[in-house]
A and B are shown apart, each in its own frame.
Chain A
Amino acid sequence: MELYKLHRNEFIVWAKANYKASPEQAKDAFQEAVLDFHQNVITGVLVEFTSSIKTYLFQIGKYKLLNIIKKEHRITYHDNLQLIEGKEMEDYMDDENKAHSQEQLTNAINKLPEDCQKVLKLYYFNEFDMDSIARELKYKNSDTAKSKKSVCMKNLMLELKKITSILVF
């Protein structure tokens, strides 16, 4: 969060000067960059820097920005009812389907009890091991954390089944 606050404004100015990006596009790209940075640090992909954190963030942000600009250009195409074909059409459909499935999954996760949401977040987002989850959530031991995570996954699948009939169980 602090990194984001520290470099965001500079990135917006830089993105506008170099890629004519709108502030909204720049913010979106920089948010993605900070999230990737966070993920790379906790997964151990990033262990040492060959450049400053700011340079690293700007590099990721640049690629994110180019993707956003490209994607928005594609949607503008579609809105103008111009024909999009082949790979471009597949990508478009893929994005739409993914967004729809993600929304269903988000609804299912939001229906889980708070403790389940915490377990899943610690495991999948923070990438904690079971010992750390047990410590964080004051469970008896890692086995308790592990079985709690399994129960939460089962509940999630049940919620998903209620929400959608697309998934085949």
Chain B
Amino acid sequence: MELNQNIELFEAYTDGSMSGDRLKKFEARLAYDSEFKASYEIYLSVEKGIKQHFRNEVKSKLEEIDGHLDSLSTVKKGRSKTLYLWSSSVAAAIVISVFLFNHFSTISNQDLALSYWKSDPGLPVKMSSKGKYDDAMNAYKLKNWEVATKELTKLKTDTAYYYLGLVSFQRHEFAAAIQQFEKIENNSHYYESAQFRLGLTFLSLNKKDDSKIYFEALSEHSGKYRKSSNEILDQINSK
């Protein structure tokens, strides 16, 4: 493979460590050897793609923060109302204390769930032919959750259930997300991911015992969620 044979050369040229005759020869070859030049261009596009990949990864983390901040503002509105209704009563202080205790433990579990919740980029949409998920995926990628839900609901497949679960989670409709993920059967390609996301969704609802059932099952298998499941279990059990 020509590209892999030249990786070190391309790296030296792009990081500026190439000099003298070596540099002149390299640049001359770029000018006369079209195959070499094509390999170099692919190398450059892969480098650009790697940067974009890690940028997208950080962006997913910011989206997770969004979910957290949005849910916090919803909780804050509810708390203001509660305070107003009970402010004249001494007994209310006890109620509020209990409420705040539950509230903060909920946020803590939500934080934990969100820190492991990875955004899914959606299925590729091809220009050459119309696929059955295209409308749903276009809406999903634009975060147009209403249209995505409408389109996905028409499709009674495990793929549709999985993405409906993701959309419901994004909308903080956790019960609906659970309902969708639970429809995915164990022979599905999405089964393992759905099980992991079920655990995270229950954790977001502060249902630690329910979430542990999923993480314990995943931690017993050598799948891709084993490590994360063990980490989450450690954190839940240490609380």
A residues 64-116 near B (Cβ < 8 Å) are 72, 75, 79, 93, 96, 99-103, 105-106, 109
Evaluate whether A102 and B53 lie within 8 angstroms (CB atoms) in the complex, with A8-B69, A27-B66, A157-B3 already known. yes
Question: Given B4, B38, B54, which contacts A168 in the complex, CB threshold below 8 Å?
Answer: B38
For residue B154, CB closer than 8 A to chain A, the reply is: no
Residues of B within 8 A of A134 (CB): none
Contact of B7 with A154 in the complex, beta carbons under 8 Å: yes
Please tell me if the beta carbons of A169 and B39 are within 8 angstroms of each other in the complex: yes
Number of A-B contacts (CB under 8 A): 97
B95: A residues at CB distance < 8 A: none
Stretch at the interface among B44-52, B101-109, B181-189, B209-217: B44-52
Chain B CB within 8 A of A149 CB:
yes
- B55/A35 in contact, CB under 8 A: yes
Q: Is the CB of A9 within 8 A of B1?
A: no
CB-defined contacts of B143 to chain A, threshold 8 Å: 24, 28
Give the contact-size bracket for chain B: 35 or more
Pick the contact of B69: A5, A125, A156, A169 (CB < 8 A).
A5
Decide if A169 touches B121 in the complex (CB within 8 Å).
no
A16 within 8 A of B: no
| Chain A interface residues (CB < 8 Å from chain B) | 1, 4-5, 8-9, 24, 27-28, 31-32, 34-35, 38-39, 72, 75, 79, 93, 96, 99-103, 105-106, 109, 120-121, 124-125, 146, 149-150, 153-154, 156-158, 160-161, 167-169
B interface with A by C-beta (< 8 Å): 1-4, 7-8, 11, 38-39, 42, 45-47, 49-59, 61-63, 65-66, 69, 73, 121, 124-127, 138, 142-143
